[in-house]
Amino acid sequence: MSEITKNELVRIIKAHDAQGAYYLYGNDEYNIQKLKNALVESVVDAGSQELNLHSFEGRSDIGEIIEACEALPVFAEKMCVTVRDFDIDSVRPAADKLKELYAEIEALPDTTVLIFFTQNTDICAGKKAPTDKNKKLVELIKKHGTVLKADTPTASDAAKEITAVCRDNGCEIDRKAAELIFMRTAGDMGLAVNEAEKLCAYANGRKITADDVLLLTPEQDDTKVYALTDAIAANDLNKAIAVYNKLIDNRTDPVYLLYVITGSINDIYRARAALDSGHSVNDVSADFGYPKILSFRVSNAFKSAGRTNTAHMRHCMEILLKADLAIKTGAGAPETILESAVIQMLEGRNRR
């Protein structure tokens, strides 16, 4: 069998042709959950799920998972077994039990569909591919079953999904408005779909515009953080403080804020270094392993990098490192330490 695309899995689901083992993983939690549910429903109808659907967590006993896989369907052609968040790095199953699971996957009964899927875990540990321990299971299922990696869609693909959601709710939406929903929800398709449905209720059948999105869809903290770091790069004190105050007014955790700000400043630092050495957005994406779906982050970083210099970005990273250490060692209130770091980053530009 093989690794397939989302559209190919949708075709399998519509044809009720699911068979063998599946592994659905990636950072698009919304579509993983949606596809998993649809896959289950294509195998076991709602009326017989109590008898023919067996659901397990990653830390469940492997022997029980194998026993469920070997069970026969009740008054149905097939039965389904699902296993959520089986991250081998965190679950740490016994080696002999893992071998038994691998053997079961290789000889899975024709009447059983086994689905591994991620929801609250990252089997890639922030990288593009699964970790070494998880890779063995993924590759085994790729050989004997089907694997789908579902990453956050591009803005263009997300706009198509959002347009379809609006259409299902009796509304039209222009492409720019759909992409704006995606951007304001920081690439979270679950949030984007919720916002689209809310906008459909508001529009009451008329076409949804970008003005509607700006009125009703709040920016997520990650989006505001980009505005903050862009203002820091441009040395725009008034804008930076205004955005920072909005984040604090929203009661955003300062420790989380420091984490996201550091990531965004690091993006700009890399972009500035790339500009200085004649490299492109694609070069940075490839060299630092940014997934395709995060290309907008690199593009945004290049825009901000044009308004700063390498020395300033290096200084900002040093300030953030000290702030991180100060928070972790309890040197003061996190809010105070973070605010001081933001001001220092703005002051540092003037000294360079």
> In whole angstroms, what is the distance from residue 151 CA to residue 138 CA?
16
pLDDT interval class at 350 (50, 70, 90):
low
187 Cα distance to chain centroid: 8
Selection from 256, 341, 257, 273 nearest residue 313 by Cα: 273
Q: For residue range 103-155, what is the model confidence (pLDDT) as tens digits? A: 999 999 999 999 999 987 889 877 788 999 999 999 999 999 999 999 878 88
Residue ranges matching CATH 1.10.8.60 in the chain:
155-216
| CATH number 3.40.50.300 is the correct assignment for the domain at 2-149 | yes
Six-digit token string for 96? 């002999």
pTM of the shown model: 0.66
Whole-number pLDDT of residue 227: 83
Strands (E), the chain: 2-3, 20-25, 53-57, 79-84, 112-117, 146-149
Architecture of the domain whose range is 155-216: Orthogonal Bundle (1.10)
Domain range 221-350, its CATH number among 1.20.58.340, 3.40.50.300, 1.20.272.10, 1.10.540.10: 1.20.272.10
- DSSP-derived 3-state class of residue 119: coil
Residue ranges matching CATH 3.40.50.300 in the chain:
2-149
Q: Is 173 left (phi over 0), alpha (psi -120 to 50) or beta?
A: beta
Whole-number pLDDT of residue 307: 83
Q: Chain-wide mean pLDDT for the chain?
A: 90
Q: For residue range 249-279, what is the model confidence (pLDDT) as tens digits? A: 777 788 888 998 999 999 999 999 999 999 9
- Looking at per-residue confidence, does 311 or 239 come out higher? 311
The answer, yes or no, to whether residue 231 has pLDDT greater than 70, is yes
Residue ranges matching CATH 1.20.272.10 in the chain:
221-350
> In whole angstroms, what is the distance from residue 337 CA to residue 332 CA?
7
The answer to whether the beta carbons of residues 98 and 83 sit under 8 Å apart is no
